[in-house]
Structure 1
Amino acid sequence: MQLTDVPGESPHFVRSVTEMGDTRDVIASEDIYASNGTKLLAKGARIDSKQFEKLTRYKLSAPLDQVLSSDRAVDAAMLAIEFDRILEHDATYRQLLSRAGDPRQLKHCTANLRLHSTIELRLTVMMDKHTEMFEHTLRTAIIAFACAQRMGIPAADFPAVLMAALCHDFGEMHTDPRILDQSHQVTAEERRFVHVHPVTGYVLLKDLPGFPAAASKAVLQHHERLDGSGYPHALHGEQIDRLARIVAAADVTETVLRRLDMQRLEMLYRINKPRYDGDVLAILRDLLQTQAGQPVDTGPVADPSARLNHLSDLLQAWFDLRSMLEQRASADAPGSPLAFLFKRMASVRSLVLQAGFNPDDMTSMLAWIQDDPEVLAELRSMLDEMDWLLADLANEIERRSPELNGLSQAALKGLMQHLRPEIH
């Protein structure tokens, strides 16, 4: 993914901004021009949904968020209030911050943030029109800040940590909300817009006066993974900056914490250990350990036999495909475009073995664990996390399809059917 691949002003973001103007004052802070020099709106004009068509009919000469202002904007003082709200009502986040160090540092650092007007506007749009994303952003920022404290990162770098976490999903506001809906089955073409959002966010932030370069780079890299399975550039290991590693782990941790499923969180850390920074995961484990021992009401646990058999079928499909691929010279060599596939599937098989199952007979151990609800619940967490891991592999295959050295999609079809069975 190159910077030149980033789309222009998104109609989805323009719609959010203009609709926000129906309930609060959104004002043009300067004249708004089309790229051909046509003046669209004068300085001081009030923006609302009536201007949506006009603002999307032309390519704008400047990004919309740089020429607008809003009343009741999300500034540093409001962010501090929002953090206090979360900490007051959520014991997990209070204990997380207390275990990390001085909990007052978060409020002090937030209150002293110098937010560019563009960032204030985007956070305001997020709070007003993307409330779940705003809540996720705030909680991710608390986790990232606590992790940075415990890691001993200098206090002078705390603002960059907060800015990276607060802005990490700015690019998602340019994505069609239907694609982000959890009930929507994303197509390969739609997934391209999801994968571009870190680049979009980076482009929006990298040239803002006073915005930390480390924070903009973390926004760009927060979906990269240490094993090279991430996006947009499939970076490996030390190619990924430390701040990006913190935000990446905080991002995924918040997603699981939202469901109050500590067992699933521990399973996520175990299964995804090769993908995330080990030091960061160790710190998060320690910060959350007072919660980890609390019982989780898992409810009735469904018989996992069918899911285990499906996993067995997947591994057999890989065995068949691997036999064909190995006939090609050096298909699994480190420099081969196919090497990632060998590495990812070897990791899946290894995880199955680590869980105590024979990959060739996945149901062999079920007989003696059927009457143990605790073990069955852990197995369910493992299978849930494995589902995400396999879906990520399917996405990675699609992202890398241009590199696959002439390998036909038909050859991958059987494997893909097992990686993402719900769409076949």
Structure 2
Amino acid sequence: MTAALPTIPAQANRHFLQAVVDLSAKQEIALSEDIYNDKGVKILAAGARVSADVYAKVISHKLVKPIEVCISTGEPPSGAMLVRIAEEVLDELPLLAGICNWSQGRVTPVDMLSTCKMSEAAGTLLAVSFSRTESAARHAVTTALIAMGIANAYRYNDSQLMSAMCLGGLFHDVGELYIDPAVLDARKLTPSEWMSYASHPIIGAALAREVCGFDTMTQRAILEHHEYADGFGYPRSLRGQAISTAGRVLSLAEVLSALVQKPAAFSRIDIALKIMPGEHEPELVSLVNDLLRLERGAAREKIVAPQDDVHASVHSVLLRIADVLGIYDELMSPSAATTQTVRVVVDEVFDRFAEVQKAFASTGVGHLAMLDGKLDSDELQESRFEAECVFNEIAWRLQKLSRELVLKAGKMRDDDAQALLRMAGALSGTPSVDQTSTEMNHVALEPS
């Protein structure tokens, strides 16, 4: 696995270096060793403080050593800081007690965070990653807590897996430091932007190996934290057991870390895990349900109906489905000039699309309008809330299929790529446009 990963480039990534400079305005970051360019000329001396001036001197050079291993902060995220964040998260999200209520001897998940070992370079990298957004540290810690909880139930007393989940959870998004912040902040991405964003697990795994010195299990967890068992994850579209145990656990934990933050989290998680079986390992899903069952029984969730027009949402989903069906029929017509390569890819995605369509129909939300006069206000409110959850999950699955086509289109010749992008646009809800060389910019995708 590690041999297939790219190496950190000799020339500093401008987005990473700018994030380091931004953090240096808040806390001291210094060069831990002399910096030489690829011609052997020393351009900066050890001990120099990182600043905008350092950025200007470094950014135009190829370096003997990557800048990532040559910087150090005196204030990396401490065990005490990670514990504080973890305790805040557990206090605010009581449902996590079901997942994180374990101990191995005297060790608890919070203790794991307080004592996880990392090098000086790794600590600096994590500090820069946490500084990127206000929620970055909280998301990382939440993901690590959930991953450790699932790992403990799945492979009790497996210290290597537990360590990989602790470090993998904390570091899983460090690759985003290499991505243009404008891309990270965008609500919708063009295909070219999406392909850039989708590289962050690969970059993160390379940083885990070359900067942090993490073991192979932790590297794979970071590389695979957006892979799904059904093959519609990224960056490698792996399926089932081709994803490592650590990758499967961290992928599920990453999904749950977003859902637990939302109102009525139990209900959202329940719908998300049921609506499309096969995305995650069934045994892991069953374990999560078991871990949450007691907590859910004790909780009283407040269900708030969405303000959006549910009927309009139903209509929107049906239109998107119709658009996909139309483009599929056109591309697969015996008289179409579609190449065999495209037909194989479209057929594979369409099979998965048919499963999404079936899942949507099975929920019954399309018939909600018929129930308006037959339910009392509480029942109607709950039905509308469930419908909102279903729409979100269905839209997310269609988006995943669209992203898969975009990634495959990026590896094909122009005509084949345009055919795939037409279907990708329909899946993402983007209006169809004429097939031109600029069509890549007309498919809007949501970052995950």
Q: TM-score range by the shorter chain?
A: 0.7 to 0.9
Q: Which residue of 1 aligns with 2:141?
A: 138
Give the gaps of 5 or more residues in structure 2: 432-441, 444-448
Query: Counterparts of 1:87-126 in structure 2 under 5 Å?
Result: 87-98=90-101, 104-126=107-129
Task: Name the SS for the 2:59 alignment partner.
Answer: helix
Does structure 2 retain, via aligned residues, the 8 Å contact 1:18–1:47? yes
Residue identity matched to 1:166: L
In 2, Cα distance between the equivalents of 1:96 and 1:135? 17
Q: CA deviation at 1:243?
A: 0.8
In 2, Cα distance between the equivalents of 1:46 and 1:135? 28
Query: Counterparts of 1:268-283 in structure 2 under 5 Å?
Result: 268-283=272-287
Does structure 1 retain, via aligned residues, the 8 Å contact 2:5–2:205? no
Q: CA deviation at 1:315?
A: 2.3
Q: CA deviation at 1:52?
A: 2.0
In 2, Cα distance between the equivalents of 1:120 and 1:87? 24
Q: CA deviation at 1:33?
A: 1.9
Q: Which residue of 2 aligns with 1:170?
A: 174
Does structure 2 retain, via aligned residues, the 8 Å contact 1:100–1:150? no
Q: Which residue of 2 aligns with 1:191?
A: 194
Q: CA deviation at 1:20?
A: 1.4
State which of 7, 16, 20 in structure 2 corresponds to 1:17: 20
1:160 aligns with 2:168: no
Q: CA RMSD in A?
A: 3.0
Aligned residues: 417
Q: 1:339 to 1:115 in 2, by over 3 A?
A: same
Q: 1:70 to 1:365 in 2, by over 3 A?
A: closer
In 2, Cα distance between the equivalents of 1:233 and 1:173? 20
Deviation readout 1:130-183 (Å, 9 max, x if unpaired): 3312210010000001111112332422212211111111101111122111x5
State which of 286, 289, 296 in structure 2 corresponds to 1:285: 289
Does structure 1 retain, via aligned residues, the 8 Å contact 2:86–2:141? yes
State which of 393, 418, 421 in structure 1 corresponds to 2:430: 421
Deviation readout 1:334-367 (Å, 9 max, x if unpaired): 993333222221112211222136xxxx4x5521
Q: 1:130 to 1:36 in 2, by over 3 A?
A: farther
1:266 aligns with 2:274: no
Q: CA deviation at 1:260?
A: 3.0
Q: Which residue of 2 aligns with 1:218?
A: 221
Does structure 1 retain, via aligned residues, the 8 Å contact 2:328–2:346? no
Q: Relative contact order (C-alpha < 8 Å, sep 6+): which is higher?
A: 2
Deviation readout 1:170-200 (Å, 9 max, x if unpaired): 101111122111x542111111111111110
Q: Which residue of 2 aligns with 1:66?
A: 69
Identity %: 22
Deviation readout 1:299-355 (Å, 9 max, x if unpaired): 454332222122222222233233334445999999933332222211122112221
Give the gaps of 5 or more residues in structure 1: none
Query: Counterparts of 1:15-414 in structure 2 under 5 Å?
Result: 15-98=18-101, 104-157=107-160, 158-181=162-185, 183-207=186-210, 211-262=214-265, 263-289=267-293, 290-291=295-296, 294-328=300-334, 336-356=344-364, 362=366, 364-369=367-372, 371=375, 372-402=380-410, 407=416, 409=418, 413=422
Q: 1:131 to 1:408 in 2, by over 3 A?
A: closer
Task: Name the SS for the 2:135 alignment partner.
Answer: helix
In 2, Cα distance between the equivalents of 1:95 and 1:78? 23
In 1, Cα distance between the equivalents of 2:148 and 2:247? 13
In 2, Cα distance between the equivalents of 1:365 and 1:86? 36
Q: 1:66 to 1:314 in 2, by over 3 A?
A: same
Task: Name the SS for the 1:339 alignment partner.
Answer: helix
Q: CA deviation at 1:206?
A: 2.1
Q: CA deviation at 1:207?
A: 4.1
In 2, Cα distance between the equivalents of 1:202 and 1:419? 28
| Greater mean alpha carbon deviation, residues 330-339 or residues 272-281 | 330-339
In 2, Cα distance between the equivalents of 1:209 and 1:419? 37
Residue identity matched to 1:339: D
In 1, Cα distance between the equivalents of 2:280 and 2:273? 8
Residue identity matched to 2:403: N
Residue identity matched to 2:173: D
Q: 1:411 to 1:177 in 2, by over 3 A?
A: closer
Does structure 2 retain, via aligned residues, the 8 Å contact 1:99–1:287? no
